[in-house]
Amino acid sequence: MIPELPGEIRELYPFAPHWTRVGGYTLHYVDEGPQSPRVVVLLHGNPTWSFLYRKIIPPIAAAGFRVVAPDYLGCGRSDHGRHEAEYAIAHHISRTMAILDAAGVEQAVFFCQDWGGPIGLGIALARPSLLGGLVLANTFWGEASKFHRQIIPWRAIHAPIAGPLLFARTRTFLNALRLSGPPDIHSGAAWRAYNLPYEVHGGAGSTLAWPRAISLGPGHPTQPLADAIWAAMPSMRVPVRLVWGAADVVFAPGEEEARFRERLPRGKEHPTQIIEGARHFIQEYAPDQCSDACVAVAREAFKC
C-alpha cells in the first residue's frame, strides 16, 4: 500500500484515502460526496488507478451523488500481489465487490473503461441487484478486439515463457499510456502519479496479467466470463450512456461500442458521444463529458 502521497500528486488528487482488508490485502478506494447507499462507481483498467478519475470525481459529487473509485490489487495505492494468479479477473471482481460491501454500496451506476467493463459487468452478473446503470467508455467484455487479434506482440504476451520475459520487468504499458493519453500527462506530477505504484512496489504489478487475461478464444480462462457477460447483456435493462474516443486503436468506435449499443436493451436510447481526437484513456481527454454521463445516468437510475 502507499499510505502517503507526494505533495505534488496530492495537489492533483486531493481525496482522503479509504482502506479495507480483503483476502489478506489492503485495498484503497476514494469515497467522496454525500453518504448514500446509491453510488457512482468509477472502474479503471490497465495500467492506471483511481488517479485517472481526479477530474471526474468532483463534478459528480458536486451534483449530489456519492462517488467510489477503487484501486484494484496491484494498482494505485493498494497492495501488490506476488504472483500472476492473484490478478485473475475473477479475483478482481470478487475483491471489488468486497470494497463495495465495505463501503455500504447497495446500488451502483458503473463507469466502465478498459478492464472496468469485464469487472463492472462481472459484478452485475454476480449480484444483479447492484446494477443501477452503466456508462461505457472505450471498454469491452473480455474478448479480444480486432487490435488484439492482429498485433503480433499481443500473442507474444500470452506465451507462457516469452510473455513474462518480454514484459514483466518493463513498463511497457505505462509507456503505452503516453501514446494513448494527451500530452499533459506525459511529464510532471501526472506522469509521476501513474508511475508511482511501480516505483514503490517494483516489478510490473498487475500490468502483465491484464493483457494476458484478454481472451483470444475458446479455452482461455477469461472466455467463460466473456460468454456469460455477453449472454446476460439483454437482461440488463438499466439506463445506459456511451462515451467513446474516436482515435482509440484498441477499442475503435464501431466495434465493441456498436455491439454494446445493439446488445443492451437500452443501448440505443441515446447516441454514443464520440469524442474526436480522443484515444483510449477517454477520462484524460473528456472528463466533463464522462462526469456529465455519470450524472445523467445516476439521476435516472436513482430517480433524482
pLDDT tens per residue across span 76-104: 999 988 888 898 999 999 999 999 999 99
* N-to-C CA span, the chain: 36
| Residue 30: per-residue pLDDT | 98
| Residue 81: per-residue pLDDT | 86
Residue of 98, 151, 146, 139 lying closest to 241 (CA atoms): 139
Residue of 135, 145, 137, 150 lying closest to 41 (CA atoms): 135
- How wide is the angle at C-alpha 74 spanned by C-alphas 69 and 76, nearest 5°? 45
Average pLDDT over residues 116-127: 97
Name the DSSP class of 76: T
Average pLDDT over residues 138-161: 74
| Residue 204: per-residue pLDDT | 64
Residue 205's pLDDT band (cuts 50, 70, 90): low
Residue 44's pLDDT band (cuts 50, 70, 90): very high
| Residue 137: per-residue pLDDT | 98
Residue 146's pLDDT band (cuts 50, 70, 90): confident
Name the DSSP class of 141: S
List phi, psi (to 5°) of 29: -150, 155
Q: How far apart are CA 148 and CA 103, in angstroms?
A: 35
| Residue 157: per-residue pLDDT | 62
| Residue 277: per-residue pLDDT | 93
CA distances from 253 to 90, 258, 259 (A): 27, 7, 10
| Residue 303: per-residue pLDDT | 86
> Looking at the DSSP assignment, which residues form a beta bridge with residue 108?
39, 131
| Residue 183: per-residue pLDDT | 81
Average pLDDT over residues 139-163: 72
Say which amino acid occupies 204.
Answer: A
Q: How far apart are CA 126 and CA 100, in angstroms?
A: 13
| Proportion of the chain above pLDDT 70, given as a percent | 90
Instruction: At 51, list the grid cell.
Output: 488517479
Residue of 49, 41, 27 lying closest to 95 (CA atoms): 27
Average pLDDT over residues 174-196: 81
Residue 182's pLDDT band (cuts 50, 70, 90): confident
> In this structure, are residues 174 and 193 in contact, taking their beta carbons and an 8 Å threshold?
no
Q: Which domains does the chain have, with CATH numbers?
A: 7-301 (3.40.50.1820)
Is the pLDDT at 294 greater than 80? The verdict is yes
Helices 116-126 and 89-102 pack at an angle, to 10 degrees, of: 70
Is the pLDDT at 154 greater than 90? The verdict is no
Q: What is the pLDDT of residues 62-71, one digit of tens each?
A: 999 999 999 9
| Residue 163: per-residue pLDDT | 55
Predicted structure pTM score = 0.92
Residue of 275, 216, 269 lying closest to 243 (CA atoms): 275
> In this structure, are residues 58 and 84 in contact, taking their beta carbons and an 8 Å threshold?
no
Q: How far apart are CA 197 and CA 195, in angstroms?
A: 6
Lowest mean pLDDT of 74-78, 82-86, 159-163, 270-274, name the range: 159-163
DSSP for 30-60 reads EEESS--SEEEEEE--TT--GGGGTTTHHHH
| Residue 54: per-residue pLDDT | 97
> In this structure, are residues 13 and 5 in contact, taking their beta carbons and an 8 Å threshold?
yes
| Residue 115: per-residue pLDDT | 95
| Proportion of the chain above pLDDT 90, given as a percent | 70
Query: Biggest alpha carbon distance in the chain?
Result: 52
| Residue 167: per-residue pLDDT | 57
In the numeric block, the cell 447516441 is attached to 271
| Residue 198: per-residue pLDDT | 84
Q: How far apart are CA 60 and CA 296, in angstroms?
A: 10
If one compares 176 and 158, the residue with the highest pLDDT of the two is 176
Catalytically active residues are 114, 248, 280
| Average pLDDT along the chain | 90
| Residue 279: per-residue pLDDT | 92
Given strand 17-22, what is the order of strands in its sheet?
A: 17-22, 25-32, 66-70, 38-43, 107-114, 131-139, 240-245, 273-275
Q: For CA atoms 289, 114, 92, 47, give the dihedral sign.
A: negative
